[in-house]
Amino acid sequence: MNLVHRKLCSSALWAKAVAAEMPGNVAGFDLGESVLEIGPGFGATTRALVGLVPGLTAIEIDEASAELLKREFDGRVRIVQGDGAAMPFEDGEFSSVVCFTMLHHVPTTALQDAIFAEAFRVLRPGGILRAMDSLESFPFRLLHLGDTMNALDPVSVWPRLTGAGFTDIKVGHVPKRSIEFSARKPA
């Protein structure tokens, strides 16, 4: 992340906005008792989720961020330093997998697809994937100057999730702003 992006994502303002939106982001989804969050970064989404779900595990690729999260959430959230495209979890370990505003940081479509495949693998039969991310726009591109930005194409999400094995796929988006989707591992 570039410095401006890092400052924004670690700010109290960002955390407050995420906390206000999170209940609506998961409303209507039965996430079950064992939720995996992929890519919490500075932890704004984790802070917002921890009070909404019974059990939360988060996997973060950045070692320094994972250490900070371990200190902050000690005993409340299981924090694992690792790669969402090659997760160290058992098959079917989680009732749901969530990822919020992180997929655009994954440098290639192939790695994003590996994250989808891993989410499918670690989900229990009937488990749900719930995700949201930002779409490419001029202001979003400016925020990511010198940064990794691989925004999702809303048209490609459904076939990519199908390719990973998911069913009951729902994709929605606000043009030039955001994409949200859910999918289920067949029971």
- Tens of each residue's pLDDT in the chain, 187 residues: 767 667 777 778 878 988 899 889 999 999 999 999 999 999 999 999 999 999 999 999 999 999 999 999 998 999 999 999 999 999 999 999 999 999 999 999 999 999 999 999 999 999 999 999 998 877 777 776 778 889 999 999 999 999 999 999 999 987 778 999 999 999 9
Other Cβ atoms closer than 10 A to 59: 24
pTM greater than 0.85 = yes
Residue 5: predicted pLDDT: 66
All domains of the chain in start order, with CATH = 3-25+37-184 (3.40.50.150)
Residue 6: predicted pLDDT: 74
Alpha-carbon distance 83 to 86, whole Å?
5
